[in-house]
Amino acid sequence: MNLIGTLSLEGGEEWLEYSVLEGSCRKEAVSAFLDALAREARRRKKEVVVVLDNAPFHTAKMVKGKQPEWERARD
């Protein structure tokens, strides 16, 4: 089991949102999570900072290749 999530510190309040991933964490799950995060940030007109470590599913070409798309979502 793995967890993937976000932490918001907006307005002096802490808010944690997460998803439980059954089995191994894979690049497809990370990409789908970041797609949803980008859509929600755009809908709310909020800036988002994403911190990724060097886990293989963070450094996969699929995930790195979508970075420009996620950056454009903030416009």
Chain segment 8-22, per-residue pLDDT in tens: 887 778 888 888 888
Q: Is the pLDDT of residue 75 over 80?
A: no
pTM summary value: 0.79
Asked if 37 and 6 count as a contact pair (C-beta separation under 8 A), the reply is: yes
Task: Tell me what pLDDT residue 3 has.
Answer: 87
Asked if 38 and 48 count as a contact pair (C-beta separation under 8 A), the reply is: yes
Chain segment 30-64, per-residue pLDDT in tens: 899 899 888 888 888 888 888 888 889 889 999 99
Asked if 5 and 18 count as a contact pair (C-beta separation under 8 A), the reply is: yes
Asked if 59 and 65 count as a contact pair (C-beta separation under 8 A), the reply is: no
